[in-house]
Amino acid sequence: QSALTQPASVSGSPGQSITISCTGTSSDVGRYNLVSWYQQYPGKAPKLMIYEGTKWPSGVSNRFSGSKSGNTASLTISGLQPEDEADYYCCSYAGSSTLVFGGGTKLTVL
């Protein structure tokens, strides 16, 4: 399976909203509502932010939201805060009992 496509970097100022896209195919993102999003700080383990496309795990701020249109999933972060600066990865079930991740997006808070 090919990796999902994410922008290498996005940036925004505190208080703004940003959106990170995650483009797959009709065999993964487009077929299943099983996209998850992870936040990762340098040298740290990933943290689950969104699962099954739009759901929040316990303890995750509702400033983070997930959506999907066609073969593209998106993570929107509203009210951007300095601590949101991190790498973000999308992940989708890809059929045949496999998972595929995106290449990751570095979020910079200006």
Cβ 25 to another protein shortest distance, Å: 16
Q: Which is nearer to another protein, 17 or 98 (CB)?
A: 98
Which residues sit opposite 50 in a β-bridge? 37
Q: Which is nearer to another protein, 79 or 103 (CB)?
A: 103
Please give the residue ranges that form the binding site for another protein (CB under 8 A): 1, 3, 34, 36, 38, 40, 44-48, 51-52, 55, 57, 89, 91, 93, 97-104
Cβ 13 to another protein shortest distance, Å: 26
Cβ 57 to another protein shortest distance, Å: 5
Q: Which is nearer to another protein, 16 or 38 (CB)?
A: 38
Place of tokens 């383990």: 45
